[in-house]
Amino acid sequence: METTLRGVGVSHGVAIGEVRHMGTAVLEPPAKQIPAEEAEREQGRARQAVEAVAADLIARGNLAGGEAQHVLEAQAMMAQDPELIADVERRIAVGSTAERGVYDAFAAYRALLANAGEYLAGRVADLDDVRNRIVARLLGVPMPGVPDSDEPYVLIARDLAPAETALLDPTLVLGFVTEEGGPTSHSAILARALGVPAVVALPGAGEITEGTVVAVDGSTGEIFVEPSQEKRAEMESASAARKAALSAVTGPGATSDGHKVPLLANVGGPGDVPAAVEAGAEGVGLFRTEFLFLDDSKQAPSEEKQIAAYRAVLEAFPEGRVVVRVLDAGADKPLDFLTPADEPNPALGVRGLRSLLDHPDVLRTQLTALARAAEGLPVYLEVMAPMVADRADAKAFADACREAGLQAKFGAMVEIPSAALRARSILQEVEFLSLGTNDLAQYTFAADRQVGAVSRLQDPWQPALLDLVALSAEAARAEGKSCGVCGEAASDPLLACVLTGLGVTSLSMGAASIPYVRATLAKHTLAQCERAASAARAADSADEARLAAQAVLSGE
């Protein structure tokens, strides 16, 4: 009998197939005591396992490339966290085996994060995955993971760690469903990069029996268990029509009445460029530069290394716009040479621009490298700072850009509510704004991006978030400057129309989403987008806002 479940759709497309569950072996080692003379040997085993797991994660990142690479490199750094390793060794010194010491140390850290709400290494799925990999290596057993199958299937898991998501084979994994996670979790972001339909935050997904046929709609978040032939035909027909519509619309982003909305790509490094070019991106709206710095947490990359990486991206978009975000370190991306190790809540501490202003040599080297990388290229380079709170922050960044001789536009990211509320003040110092809706939602609603239990507050359709977008766009319009969106909100085609109606001047997203957004914008006039935006802002919840906008755009 067909039943319908609803989670949060995070990656477009339809997948119909049999369910396979992620392997979930119990990796809790026995609690037994060892003689004192064996402690040193066990500590050595633990260190070797940690280094092996970190090396494996880095190798997986190199293989996956692009967005996945810096995610996995950050996870490798988590495995090598000095405080965790020290705790493991302390536990072994008083009698634990290597595997039990690792298990208990990670359990204590996990509990600390859960109970205190800390953000350092706050991705619980990532932390659990690192622990399981180290313990599995010490026990000499296989890591539980993606099931072996010769036939395509829909994968169901409690959550997916980046190491698993990054290397999913799209020819076998038709789509995936997770019980945990949110629209901006690592698994969601990597699903979009892979172009795999995905639904997250679906409680009870693990109870769907192995082998059951399900139909997954990654756009609506609906899961149809044992769908009827009529439902399957309906979804397949809708999917085919959607693909036909995508291929029929080409060229720059614009509404049906010709209002231009440049569609740009979010990239994590040179590896993401081919997909962006193939999708017809008009440039890069968010070039995350963290991937370079995560190679070595002990020191910043050389100026020459930075120049080579930046130039590879800039050369791919001649005459196009490339917006580079300077290093956004801190919170879940700690760097030993840059971020404090003892902050009680790093996401609310010295993060992003604050870290760079505390280490002006790091910022100066990056800005100089960008200036040199752009020399002689016909590209429109723009550079922006993360985590700008007020005009003083914006001025400090603009001054640093000028001192480095950077011939580019300087901008500020709007990720903190104060920046949206005082956007016009900030625009006295910089030339453009870029809304990072992922962090803006997190800080507006005090809702961790990685916690499925608060996923409704991470929903970019929340009217309060739309109000902050509107404030920023109105300020930019009043100052005759631009205001783009580079957060995951831009990848939702319907929401892209609403953002356009709010006055946003460009949209940046993962390459796989560009065709969907381009085709949807082309169906509607600017006036329709403005009416949909007004209807969404008048709603009292994210669901009501989505339905209200949909009703306007569908002519109901």
Pair type for strands 14-21 and 213-217: antiparallel
Tokens read off for 248: 């029929």
Write out the DSSP string of 65-78.
-HHHHHHHHHHHHH
Using CA atoms, how far apart are residues 273 and 270, in angstroms rounded to an integer? 5
Laid out side by side, the sheet with 173-178 consists of: 3-6, 222-225, 213-217, 14-21, 153-157, 173-178, 198-200, 8-11
From the candidates 12, 70, 186, 524, give the one annotated as an active-site residue. 186
Q: What is the largest CA-CA distance in the chain?
A: 79
486 a catalytic residue: yes
Using CA atoms, how far apart are residues 146 and 237, in angstroms rounded to an integer? 30
Q: Which of 61, 177, 218, 66 is nearest to 126 (CA)?
A: 61
From the candidates 401, 483, 486, 529, give the one annotated as an active-site residue. 486
Answer whether 229's CB lies under 8 Å from 495's CB.
no
Answer whether 18's CB lies under 8 Å from 153's CB.
yes
Q: Is the dihedral of CA 239, 244, 250, 253 positive or negative?
A: negative
Name the H helices within 359-426.
360-374, 391-403, 417-421, 423-426
- Helix (H) / strand (E) element for 470: namely helix 463-478
Compute the radius of gyration of the chain from its Cα atoms: 23
The count of C-alpha atoms lying within 13 angstroms of the C-alpha of 140, restricted to the half-sphere facing its C-beta, is 1
Catalytic sites, residue numbers: 186, 486
